[in-house]
Structure 1
Amino acid sequence: MSVEQSRKENKLPHRTNLYVDFPSTLWPIVYSPDYNITFLGLEKLHPFDSGKWGKIVNFLKEEMMIKDETIIKALEAQEDDLLVVHSKRYLNKLKWSFIVATITEILPVAFLPNFIIQRKVLRPFRTQTGGTIMAGKLAIERGWAINVGGGFHHCSSDQGGGFCAYADITLAIKFLFERVEGVSKAMIIDLDAHQGNGHERDFMDDNRVYIMDVFNRYIYPGDGFAKRAIKWKIELEWDTEDSEYLQKVKTHVAKALNEVTPDIIVYNAGTDILDGDQLGGLAVSPQGIIKRDEAIFEAARKYKIPILMVTSGGYQRSTARIIADSILNLHRLQLIDQRLI
């Protein structure tokens, strides 16, 4: 019997480089320069700012909150890590450039050799995915963690889409269930403007995962089947503004947390709710986004629940500044702290 067969029969966790220990002096903020996607200007063919993650970190450094050596460098998720959720068949499909072009919605990608796509497009996604998995462990240990990237909520175990090639949210939760004692219930609070159909499909029949999703009812993906997995669903109208949005988020998060107390909250903090975002269709101000994030972290602190935040969607150049300002606000309010909580 091979080592791999023995591991599967005994349900032993696979070997991974992602679950490592870090000094408590480091912030539980996860990032790598490898997150950013730049290649021959092709990234400009998609409305997503594919360099926003580096910009967020630079803003935090300018404000003297962090230094390169005080945050945690993300590691790339390897194939064995991805196979915790994804099928071999799906990962093999990503070796076809036209499949990746469909997922990223950048059609010229279809005409590039796949080895270039692996290095310039999929490797950044795999590194962000590794960052989300690492941040899950850190959140349990520290009380909170932020992956500056991640939030690929349109990808499920066997299908990518919407600029999402790997199911990092599903992976982070499954890693926690398999590897961390005492973690048996998770709540996903998905506040990206789009429905999180990927993790919804993955956890359709898993009662350990409670999903709250607040999204514009009229935009992509409109996945009616995936909606069946949402335990607390709030569908928004076009151009929803701060007062209505924040009231609904605060009220319904409180109701959800009164209904169930999870061992971890995975917070998908998309900024495509911002007024003027052509893909989000909502009208929340920069200050409204900062107040939204504050409310979620306050709720996690009130109920003493560890929280993992990922940054997800946001299709305006101003979103990096807003995310950085939100993280700085959380720090000023002592909702996040460098020390162990």
Structure 2
Amino acid sequence: MSDLHTMGSDNSLYLDIRDDQWPLVYDDKYNVSFLGLERFHLFDAKKWRNIIEYLKNAELITDECLVKPHEAKKSDLLVVHTKKYLRSLKWSTKVAMIAEVPVVACLPNMLVQYAYLRPMRLQTGGSILAGKLALERGWSINVGGGFHHCSGDKGGGFCPYADITLLIQFLIMNRLIQNAMIVDLDAHQGNGYERDFLGVPEVYIMDMYNRNIYPKDKEAKQAIRRKVELNNKVEDLEYMLKLRQNLKAALNEFKPDILVYNAGTDILDSDPLGFMRISEVGIIKRDEFVFEICKEHHIPIVMLTSGGYLRKTARIIADSIINLHSKGLISPKKQKKGLFSPKKLKSKE
């Protein structure tokens, strides 16, 4: 399909899970701690833990339900990333630019690796695993990931690893899928994976974002097959109308083997970086619609939590997952055998 991968991987990221586990991927080591320095960043460095705590408090899940991923190793990352880029992360100044926390430049790289890059590699391993689990169960959620500003040779916008590109590339390398659709509903353009998939017809990209904010990457926009550019202060009604029209049209144009849903919550009203005005209910209804249309079309869906820079977004994501369960759109039960089976997809060749 493409020449993205430069090295093989031993597939240790592809775990088998028990029947009683949910395809809900999370490890407490996802959370970032820089000796308290994370408080100087807009991002809630404990967002992922807070989502899980809300779900447990609501008695939807227990720790035993969750799937713990393995950390993406160098050989895994080299499937997409260049050696030069991975080497550059050994410089704290480079990581500080990507994480947008200037003080990180002053820290020993060993600490930066342990406190920031290791959690990000674990979340990347979680995204790759979630891709496999979505095929087996019909859906999966990585309570993390969605680093959509990172490409194979460049990080940025808090995104050090190209987990979306890796998720898809791993599935293609293992002949589990032949094509994929990315639906990116984060407030920002997903320029990282767009650069990776420029000129790759097997990956259909629908990106719906605020045209007035970072990254404004014109070259990357060429990879978008269905581009929905929004303005500042867009509200629920306009947002949902455009989402419904465009996602229905996208699925009429292209039938994917899997849909990768980048579900950023930075579209929320008062988010300091998204500049949009979507309500909490609007986000929950957005997620419900995406899962609903995938279920209608029998398309496995993998959701990544991506951006969202207010403390309250963790509760909104948890409320959305609870809503998906109450509407019967996600369930710990296995799908009927064969419906989303990787064996069925292999047989297309």
From 120, 123, 127, the counterpart of 2:118: 123
**Match for residue 41 of structure 2?**
46
Instruction: Please give the TM-score of this superposition, normalised by the length of structure 1.
Output: 0.96
Contact preservation (8 Å) 1:13, 1:179: no
Quote the Cα distance in structure 2 between the aligned partners of 1:40 and 1:331. 37
Shift, 1:70, TM fit: 1.1
Q: Does 1:294 align with 2:288?
A: yes
- Cα distance between partner residues in 1 of 2:7 and 2:192: 26
- Determine helix, strand or coil for the equivalent of 2:247: helix
Residue 74 of structure 1: CA displacement? 1.9
Which segment is superposed worse, 11-20 or 73-82? 11-20
The 8 Å contact of residues 56 and 323 in structure 1, kept in 2 or not, is answered as yes
Distance 1:175 1:131 in 2: 12
Q: Which residue is equivalent to 2:210?
A: 216
| Residue 61 (1) aligns with residue 56 (2) | yes
Q: 1 CA distance for matches of 2:165 and 2:303?
A: 14
Q: Deviations over 1:293-326 (max 9, x none)?
A: 0000001001000000000000101100000000
Report the identity percentage. Answer: 57
One-letter amino acid matched to 2:258: I
- Does residue 330 of structure 2 align to residue 336 of structure 1? yes
Unaligned stretches of 5+ residues in structure 1: 1-10
- Residues of 1 paired with 2:317 and 2:117: CA distance? 24
Partner Cα distance (1:324, 1:36) in 2: 16
TM-score between the two structures when normalised by the length of structure 2: 0.93
Deviant stretches of 4+, over 2 Å: 11-14
Match of 1:283, SS?
A: coil
Structure 2 alignment gaps of length 5 or more: 1-5, 336-349
Using the alignment, how far apart are the partners of 1:180 and 1:309 within structure 2? Answer: 21
Is 1:202 the counterpart of 2:180? The answer is no
Tell me what 2:25 maps to.
30
Per-residue CA shift, 1:127-152, capped at 9, x if unaligned? 00000000000000100000000000
Equivalents in 2 of 1:179, 1:140: separation in Å? 12
Q: Distance in 2 between matches of 1:110 and 1:71?
A: 35
1:336 is displaced (CA, Å) by 0.3
1:13 is displaced (CA, Å) by 4.6
- Tell me which residue corresponds to 1:304: 298
Residue 12 of structure 1: how far off its partner (Å): 9.2
Any conservation in 1 of the 2:140–2:303 contact (CA below 8 Å)? yes
What's the Cα RMSD here? 1.2
Q: How does 1:1-341 map to 2 (within 5 A)?
A: 13-181=8-176, 183-341=177-335
- State the Cα deviation string for residues 43-73 of structure 1 (Å, max 9, x = none): 1121011100000001001111111111101
In the TM superposition, what is the alpha-carbon distance from 1:14 to its structure 2 partner? 2.4
Q: Is the 8 A contact 2:7 2:78 kept in 1?
A: no
